[in-house]
Amino acid sequence: MEKGYLLLSDGTCFSGRIFGNPSICCGELVFNTSMTGYSEILTDPSYNGQIVLMTYPLIGNYGVDESWNESCGINATALVVRKLYEGPLPPGRESLQSFMARQNKCGITDVDTRSLTLHIRNYGSQNAVIFPQGMEAEARKVLASFPKITERDLIDGVSVKKETPDPDLGEGFAKCPDADSPRVALVDFGIKKSIIENIYRRGLHVTLLPPSFKASDVLDKGYCLLFLSNGPGDPALLQGAVNEVKTCLGRIPVSGICLGHQIITWALGGRTVKMTFGHHGGNHPVRDLDTGKTFVTSQNHGFMSDRSTLPEGVSIWFVNANDGTVEGLYDRSRHVRSVQFHPEASPGPQDGTWIFDSLLEDRA
């Protein structure tokens, strides 16, 4: 592995060694506090356009298995780790370095990730560039002209282009039900396989719709529910989808996860705002305001619902126990429910999987 550097847009620079594909790669740098699940994280479409910094110091120690992946390949722009594991692996497992190289993705190891995480926490997520030694001039030009995440359309390339009934999730995931059961209209903004799997496990069929869907594609076609998926980027850029969801409100039950929750926030009359460094990891406590119970969740978002903009009739379902941010909404009169966190528990924890029952039970 050759020497390389990670340069932030504020001028802060960290050194390390390049692994995977040694190239210049640029994106928004965010930190993830999960101890495991790097395969699921790298292949999560919501990380499209972002460089992921893992706070846990040793990454790659159990290798990679394709059956863990949340999509067909790596969606994250790059990976930053303190120590890349390069030792033996269980039979049949691919090394993380090989996986990154095969997917033409760049990573950097031997970085002081503790100092880097504290820097992001204090100064916020920002664009960064990873580059091999000797390419600093080119890297600085790329970074200087690279748009902010609030200016980028990151949905295209991680979502379906046309209506797709009952997608096959591949080895290791549940299959669609055989029974003639209700069908969910699921708008794909960058769907994780495990979300579809959880819907299948509850005996429902799924039809994926592209982000450019129209309300007429959903209404009066026999769907029991409109479900909005997770995905990357700024929900404020998706006003076309917001308007279509708004047309559906009160005419069909609507649910959503993560980006889907944020789009629902807009459709209900609220707004979203960018967070300083977001929530990324598998150890975020969430409190249920209906029951008072707190449970641990997996999260991946850099935007949040602005509670001050929520209109009358929209209730806050969950809040983050650490910082009080909105983690879920419902509107009983219009049969709407949404959550900011990821109840599919991939890579974990599984405390919130019951949320799917709530999201799917209120259907036509």
Q: What confidence tens digit (pLDDT) does each residue in 34-45 have?
A: 999 999 999 999
Q: How many angstroms separate the CA atoms of 305 and 328, rounded?
A: 9
Q: What is the pLDDT of residue 278?
A: 98
Q: How many angstroms separate the CA atoms of 203 and 185, rounded?
A: 14
Q: How many angstroms separate the CA atoms of 361 and 209, rounded?
A: 21
Q: Side chain identity at 128, as an amino acid letter?
A: A
Q: What is the pLDDT of residue 363?
A: 82
Tens digits of pLDDT across the chain (364 residues): 899 999 999 999 999 999 999 999 999 999 999 999 999 999 999 999 999 999 999 999 999 999 999 999 999 999 999 999 999 999 999 999 999 999 999 999 999 999 999 999 999 999 999 999 999 999 999 999 999 999 999 999 999 999 999 999 998 899 999 888 999 999 999 999 999 999 999 999 999 999 999 999 999 999 999 999 999 999 999 999 999 999 999 999 999 999 999 999 999 999 999 999 999 999 999 999 999 999 999 999 999 999 999 999 999 999 999 999 999 999 999 999 999 999 998 888 899 999 999 999 888 7
Task: Label the pairing between strands 225-228 and 254-257.
Answer: parallel
**Domains, the chain, with CATH or none:** 3-146 (3.50.30.20), 164-361 (3.40.50.880)
Active site residue 301: no
Residue by residue, DSSP assigns 212-272 as T--GGGTTTTT-SEEEE---SS-GGG-HHHHHHHHHHTTTS-EEEETHHHHHHHHHTT--E
Tokens linked to 44: 């999560």
Q: Which of 40, 197, 244, 344 is catalytic?
A: 344
Q: What is the pLDDT of residue 172?
A: 87
Q: Which of 70, 197, 258, 284 is catalytic?
A: 258
Tokens linked to 45: 């479409």
Q: What is the pLDDT of residue 338?
A: 98
Whole-model pTM: value is 0.97
Q: What is the pLDDT of residue 41?
A: 98
Q: How many angstroms separate the CA atoms of 220 and 215, rounded?
A: 10
Element (H, E) at 66: none
Q: Cα 319–348–16 angle (5° rounding)?
A: 100
- What are the Cα distances from residue 127, in Å, to 8, 116, 124, 275, 289? 6, 13, 10, 14, 36
Active site residue 344: yes
Q: Which residue has the tokens 């550097």?
A: 5
Cβ-based neighbours of 11, under 8 Å, separated by 6 or more: none
Of residues 218, 56, 29, the one with CA closest to residue 121: 29
Q: What is the pLDDT of residue 347?
A: 87
Tokens linked to 124: 């916020």
Q: Side chain identity at 8, as an amino acid letter?
A: L
Active site residue 2: no
- Integer-rounded Cα Rg, in Å, for the chain is 20
